[in-house]
A and B are shown apart, each in its own frame.
Chain A
């Protein structure tokens, strides 16, 4: 069976992409020590996603944690080494990640009525349409079961 769902949020960084969801209940840091720049693998001891790769994923998490260098970490992984996530969806996109997403040219969305952490499950197919900063973004979730 296939289930689809639409969420509406607010665009913090623009882009139209689709990909598989990776959901974290814990906050994420895109800093070079927390997600490796050359592999996209999360290295946060004790984190629920420790050892998992963010590469090509639509990354769903509450908000940012850690150093302000998370901005340049997200930029480098997305734009230069190409191991970053395809999009980020948060309860609130921290300004650190807004800056990283803008420079990395990947969509970032928050301001959902629903909790994206609850609505999206790891493995879901997610289509992100975030066309203009500050305006409505549409997230289409497809789940096969």
Chain B
């Protein structure tokens, strides 16, 4: 691997033991992944520390021993580094009715204590414990053309597709080494030759007209992702996209799309034209698909797996909600009452939560009998221990990524979800 003077110095240990170790391991990874050089990264977004820090391994992500090793070497991060969601909101560990404490299932106290230990460890290294899956909306905001090492798939997809930044959905180990050194081997989507579109997805006019609710954007992302799978899709006929819609569409990465990038013609900064989206020329005989309204409908059908209409949980905020969405939901909940048998969960990051609290929105939500929490999501909770539950959501990622643990799902629009919360019954009226 070709190394700069700065990188060589790190490797030789001139900048401390921690950077040396991280460099040695990054070089090994780079050689194995076929990288020829390093690129400087602007920021890293890494996995949260282990929940129990090794005390009960089944609750741990496996990052703990590596974070501990570097904290002992007095490592400090070289770039802005934020963290992905963790296991629970620790200050509400004992309160029931949240994902970490639901249906009588309580996570062991080691999970909370390990997390508090982990926070301090990361804090000592200069890492900011944001516990957010939407770093791109708060604090860690990507710019066009810059390189990043981010471990969160939906965030990587947003960074690549909406901001024109360059990141893989980087693995949970080398993203951390990149935080320490400020560099990462150039591979995958960091290389321009792998950022070109490979399959054309044309949206019917009727599809564009029908993209009303966030669930519709999730259905569109799901359909495109499942068709394109390991090819970067070029999407035409979208003329405008809101931040919330872009967030939903980007969340198709990892449950459906292998590489976290959509080339949205006229929207993605590197895809102003159809030709540009394909890297200069439209390849002869390129695979084409046309997305019709029936395709969106088919996703709704596929994602509705519940055998009856009784709702146990309504969960919104995968990826996390922004303030605009929380405001909208709080307004819709105003004067309403969630049925006592239904857990109604809204998920966000701490930045947004605190602002929502300041504006009185969390109080409006709680007064209606719903709950809003930060730092974690249902997917991180012990869902496999809840038994048979019906979960209503508008998130494709929630179902596909966290759906393999015995639950049944209902997929619907925001209004349908709120109605389900109030009546305890999910009734699909979208199509």
Residues of chain A whose beta carbon lies under 8 Å from any beta carbon of chain B: 11-13, 31-34, 36-39, 43-46, 66-77, 79-81, 93, 95-96, 98-100, 102-103, 108, 133-134
Contacts and interface: CB of A to CB of B under 8 A. Distances in A.
| Interface core residue of B33, B169, B405 (most chain A CB under 10 Å) | B33
Interface stretch (B55-63, B118-126, B199-207, B419-427): B55-63
B188 to A, nearest CB: 7
B387 to A, nearest CB: 14
A45 B401 CA distance: 12
A69 B380 CA distance: 12
B58 A32 contact: yes
Contacts of B406: 45
Contacts of B151: 68-69
7 contacts: A32-B62, A69-B63, A72-B62, A76-B57, A76-B65, A133-B28, A134-B31
Given A96-B171, A102-B32, A134-B31, A69 B58 contact: no
B173 A100 contact: yes
Nearest to B188: A95
A69 B61 contact: yes
B173 A73 contact: no
Contacts of A13: 32
Given A95-B188, A134-B32, 6 more contacts: A38-B58, A45-B405, A71-B171, A99-B173, A134-B31, A134-B34
Interface size class of B (residues with CB under 8 A): 35 or more
Contact of A99 (B56, B61, B171): B171
B66 A73 contact: no
B58 A95 contact: no
B168 A95 contact: yes
Nearest to A108: B32
A37 B34 CA distance: 29
B153 interface: yes
A98 B406 CA distance: 30
Given A66-B401, A76-B57, A95-B188, A100 B171 contact: yes
Contacts of A93: 32
Contacts of B65: 75-76, 79-80
Nearest to B407: A45
Nearest to B151: A68
B270 interface: no
Nearest to A73: B62
A75 B172 CA distance: 10
Given A37-B57, A44-B404, A134-B31, A69 B168 contact: no
B169 A68 contact: yes
Contacts of B54: 80
B256 to A, nearest CB: 11
B187 interface: yes
A39 B58 CA distance: 8
A76 B29 contact: no
A95 B62 contact: no
Contacts of A33: 405
A72 B153 contact: no
B32 A98 contact: yes
Contact of A68 (B28, B34, B153, B187): B153
A44 B175 CA distance: 26
Nearest to B404: A45
Contact of A70 (B25, B66, B171): B171
A73 B169 contact: no
Interface string B186-209: 011000000000000000000000
Contacts of B63: 69, 72
A50 B405 CA distance: 12
Given A37-B60, A44-B404, A80-B54, A72 B25 contact: no
A99 B174 contact: yes
Contacts of B187: 95
B60 A67 contact: no
B33 A75 contact: no
A20 to B, nearest CB: 24
Given A45-B405, A67-B254, A72-B173, A12 B62 contact: no
Interface string B369-412: 00000000000000010000000000000000100111000000
A12 B171 CA distance: 15
Contact of A76 (B60, B170, B188): B60
A12 B169 contact: no
B47 interface: yes
B32 A46 contact: no
Contacts of B47: 68-69, 72
Given A44-B404, A45-B404, A71-B171, A80 B57 contact: yes
Nearest to A12: B32
B28 A95 contact: no
Interface string B213-243: 0000000000000000000000000000000
A81 B57 contact: yes
B254 to A, nearest CB: 7
Given A67-B254, A68-B151, A95 B60 contact: no
